[in-house]
Amino acid sequence: MIEYRPTMKQTSKAFVSLLCSVFGLFSCTDHSDIYLSRDRILEMNPGLQRVLDHCRGDEEKMRAAEFLIDNLPYHKGISYTNLASNKLAYELFGSGEYTQFESRDSAANRYGYWGVKNPMFQSDIYINPDFLIDNIDWAFKVWREQPWGKNVDFEQFCEYILPYRLGNEEIYPWREKIYTQFQPIIDAIPNDSNIQHPPYIVSVLLDSLLKEPFYFTGEISSEIRVGPSIVETRGGSCLDLSDMMAYICRALGIPCGIDFMPMRGDNNAPHSINFVEDIDGKCYYFSILYRMGRVFHCGLIRDVYGKMYRQTFSVNKEMVKQMDTPLKDIHPSFRYPCIKDVTSIYANKKCWNLKLARNKILPDYKDIADDKLLYLCMSNRYSWEVVDFGKFRNDTLTFNECHGGVTYCIGQYDSQWGGLTMITNPFWVEKDSLHLKFFTPEEETEDVTLLNKFGMVTEFFIWRMTDGIFEGSNNPDFKNADTLYQIPVAPQRLCTRVQINNPKKYKYLRYKGKEGSYCDVSEVGFYSVDNLDQPLAGKIIGPVEGSKGDHSYFNVFDKKTDTSYNHPTPDGGWAGIALDTPVQIGKIMYTPRNRDNFVRKGDTYELFVFKSGAWLSHGIQTSQSDSLLYHDVPKNALLLLRNHTRGVAERIFEYENGKQVYK
């Protein structure tokens, strides 16, 4: 277990289909009577008076009951549907015996459909009063009984222990069962000063939980949150697993919540993590997915995120006041904001106030009114996702506390047709300085050579080939082997070819990964000087421990760039061939282990240019090799390459100094 000390510094279709509008995930409901007085709520559900009567005589309980009741209109959940198919998929995936796709297929085969069928929702105004009473009593029990409870103030308690739900899940009593399951872990902790600190308790919980595997996927989630059962299934998206930790912590009286990026700055996906605060107010983040540590100071996060928000149970009245816009004219992402902006907690000094002059607005929208609510947006392939809001003041549009290293664009919402229109060119914000670069397509054009459709942020495998070595030998154990070529930099294309100038002939040839690389490689071809068009064939050889499984070294010579070798241990991996007779090598070709985002021969691609507020096609072509050439592309434009043949992982980029630079 990693010891927690309060004063020390500590060092995944991506998410869920629920994220049609990212903030809608954590926001509230489309109920027309959203802003209701307590008297009106009690009138609509008279049984809630029993909750207040039950808490009378305990001032804190009464205030907590009022807090929940006042915020009931901002929440809703599933009231009727058949969740069996969805639950089965989670159970199968969490068992570790089924892949994400097998889990979905098995659930669909059993029930005739996948996911959630014909869901019906109900406002929490009509919640069962007895359920609410039980929830309040259990929340107070753990808050008042746990050793660290005295260090958790009432506001923290109300927002991050007391709430009975996390999203739109089916609600039922869950606190007692989860408490009974996990309290023994707490009881076993030595009674020293560390036990007063919630982050330390979280680290102990994680140590215990991570003794068994957890499984991550973004492919089996549905529009309905899983609910407390996620504690048992132990597999799902980062949001599902964040829910799991929030349920466990809250059942034990630990003030824990969910912080989320509505969209990553370098990927087409949101992301969720958990947070917990120390008694001195310092905030720490953690995730069951982060296996190399336990709790980390929020200022140490390495993700590129643009904006970071915290899920709350109460509606953010200050945010509503700032928008000062009729409800119907607010984008659904912010219409009922049960969130607060915590970007500055994570970004520290790299948190910028973005200021745009009115002259940055596209000509068709230059007369936009000062009181018009506008939105800061981030890219999600061909669409733009809302991440913040603002208005013009003295011809300056300001968005406060934004993280750099991100491409943004400004949009306006039209309530008549329910969509966004981009009203500026996209712009890049530097990570280390408040410098804005606008992608304004120029009249001057250039030819561009494209090698992939997604940035290397997820292609971390390719870096493992750096310093990898190709060897030749006439001894089967590669004793006294000669180095034919050492890879100087990470491969940037699907097939890298190098000429070999070595007069010697070799019977045994291999690729050997550097230490710590797991010998990650997809494909290797050795070519004789007599035939540079056809790779040599021979008996495939390698270390015994790398000969089994879906990622064995046999994949290196199967002529398929979407299969790969991954050695079971970081060191000692290699893959080679034994020839019948020694051959002089004239060329080597190699392909890194990858996620199939390089340009592939035979696939059909379309290049898009962002211009005048929209993505415009710059032509479709079928690749004749592992690269594409497009002519007359406007300089300084934001680009996007689509593969019509396979895959959906595509990311915006600019073409700079003859290379794709992903944004």
pLDDT value of position 222: 66
pLDDT in tens, 282-326: 999 999 888 776 899 998 888 878 999 999 999 999 999 999 999
Helix axes 129-145, 59-71, angle to 10 degrees: 130
Instruction: Mark which of 549, 575, 591 sits at the end of a domain.
Output: 591
Q: Is residue 498 in some structural domain?
A: yes
In a shared domain, residues 386 and 451: no
Spell out a b/e string for 514-531, using b for 16 or more CB atoms within 10 Å of the CB, else e: beebbbbbbbbbbbbbee
Tell me the residue range of the domain where 192 lies: 22-241
Say how far apart CA 615 and CA 224 lie, in whole Å. 32
At residue 456, does pLDDT exceed 70?
Answer: no
> Confidence band (pLDDT; 50, 70, 90) for 34?
low
Nearest to 385 by CA among 650, 71, 21: 21
Domain membership flag for residue 255: no
Residue 286 in any domain: the answer is no
Question: 264 near 271, Cβ under 8 Å?
Answer: yes
The model's pLDDT over 159-184, given as tens digits with 9 standing for 90+, comes to 999 999 999 999 999 999 999 999 99
Please, what's the b/e burial string for 201-225 (b: 16 or more CB within 10 A of its CB; e: otherwise)?
bbbbbbeebeeeebbbbbbbbbbbb
Examine the domain organization and report whether 108 and 204 are in the same domain.
Answer: yes
Rounded to whole angstroms, how far apart are CA atoms 82 and 88? 11
Please tell me the total number of residues recorded for the chain in this structure.
663
Strands 427-429, 659-662: pairing is unpaired
User: For the chain, how many structural domains are there in total?
Assistant: 4
**More confident of the two residues 121 and 607:** 607
Average pLDDT over residues 200-216: 89
| Dihedral (Cα; 227, 74, 141, 210), 10-degree rounding | 30
User: For residues 542 and 338, what is the distance between their CA atoms, to the nearest angstrom?
Assistant: 56
Shared-domain flag, residues 545 and 644: no
SS3 127: coil
Q: What angle do CA 211, 217, 222 make, to 5 degrees?
A: 125
Same domain, 428 and 496: no
Cα distance between residue 424 and residue 376, in whole Å: 10
Q: How confident is the model at residue 33 (pLDDT cuts 50, 70, 90)?
A: very low
Report the helix count and the strand count for the chain, using DSSP H and E: 13, 33
**DSSP notation for 535-581:** ----EEE--GGGSSSTT-GGGGGSS-TT--B--SSSSS-EEEEEEEE
Range 347-357 average pLDDT:
89
Report which of residues 390 and 98 the model is more confident about.
390
Dihedral of CA atoms 493, 611, 616, 264 in degrees, nearest 10, equals 50
End-to-end CA distance of the chain: 38
Q: At which of 183, 209, 241 does a domain end?
A: 241
Radius of gyration of the chain from Cα atoms?
A: 28
Q: Which of 272, 236, 276 is nearest to 255 (CA)?
A: 276
This prediction has a pTM of 0.88
342 falls within a domain: yes
Is 414 found in the same domain as 449?
Answer: no
> Could you say which of 575, 591, 607 is where a domain stops?
591
CA distance 80 to 94: 25
Q: Is the dihedral of CA 571, 576, 581, 582 positive or negative?
A: negative
501 shares its domain with 615: no
Q: Does the pLDDT value for residue 573 go beyond 70? A: yes
Which residues lie closer than 8 Å to 269 by C-beta, 6 or more apart? 12, 14, 15, 218, 263, 380
433 and 522 part of one domain: no
Check whether residue 398 and residue 469 sit in a common domain.
no
Q: Is 252 helix (H, G, I), strand (E, B) or coil?
A: coil
Beta bridge partners of 310: 259, 340
Does 104 lie in the same domain as 137? yes
595 against 389, higher pLDDT: 389
Token output for 576: 């080679």
In a domain, 658, yes or no: yes
Distance CA 637, CA 208 (A): 50
Lowest mean pLDDT across 28-37, 166-175, 305-314, 382-391: 28-37
Identity at 251, one-letter amino acid code: A
Q: Is residue 269 part of a domain?
A: no
Q: What is the mean pLDDT of residues 238-254?
A: 95
Average pLDDT over the chain, rounded to an integer: 90
Is there a single domain that holds both residue 341 and residue 396? yes
Structural domain contains residue 307: no
